[in-house]
Structure 1
Amino acid sequence: MTFVKQLADYRLTTAEILYHMPDHPGLLQTYVWQDLDLAPRFPELTRFLEFWQRELDGRLHSVKVASQRLIQPAEIRLAGLAVTLH
């Protein structure tokens, strides 16, 4: 299933989520979320953040998102030198 998603342009997406600790709202805690998702709308991350706001006590502070394609066109480089040994 993962390979099929990658062919459908899903990308490895990492989100750094800062949230206020429920018992100490003045302190921030970090949570790192990672999954395959579709950029730029990020429906999987959006679904997770909606779950977080609905079910968890820690109020969200900020979210940083990075996304990278896992399947890319091959890179072609020309050889500058060819040597044949017997």
Structure 2
Amino acid sequence: MVEDVSKDFRLQMEGYGLTTAQIHYRLPDHPSLLQLYVWQDYDLAPEFPELKGFLSYWERELEGPLHSVRVAHHRLITPSEWRAIDGVIMLQ
């Protein structure tokens, strides 16, 4: 039955939340101009290992030097949404 659960749902149950990063970088041919790239994935706050890995890849492999990164994060499933229910529901 584990195969029936999506990867995204499993990540949310493990504490991952939706992370969005606005990445401003300089254009290689025109360093005075900034370009915006939006990245979004499930990640763990406040360490953000997925985002850090992506930014490391960016700095290592891409020519546009990073200018700034703005991060927003929201856990989609929180503990307050899961409660134990004491009772029995009979369906006929």
User: How far apart, in 2, do the equivalents of 1:66 and 1:57 lie?
Assistant: 25
Q: Which one of the candidate residues 16, 19, 23 is aligned to 1:13?
A: 19
User: How far apart, in 2, do the equivalents of 1:61 and 1:20 lie?
Assistant: 6
User: How far apart, in 2, do the equivalents of 1:71 and 1:38 lie?
Assistant: 13
TM-score by length of 2: 0.78
Partner of 1:77: none
Runs (4 or more) in structure 1 with deviation over 2 Å come to: none
Q: Which one of the candidate residues 65, 69, 73 is aligned to 2:71?
A: 65
The structure with the largest alpha-carbon Rg is 1
Long gaps (5+) in structure 2 = 1-6, 82-92
Long gaps (5+) in structure 1 = 75-86
Deviation at 1:62, TM superposition (A): 0.3
User: How many pairs are equivalent?
Assistant: 74
- For residue 50 of structure 1, what is the amino acid of its counterpart? S
Q: Which one of the candidate residues 32, 37, 40 is aligned to 1:34?
A: 40
Flag the structure with higher helix content: 2
TM-score by length of 1: 0.84
What is the root-mean-square deviation in Å for CA atoms of aligned residues? 0.6
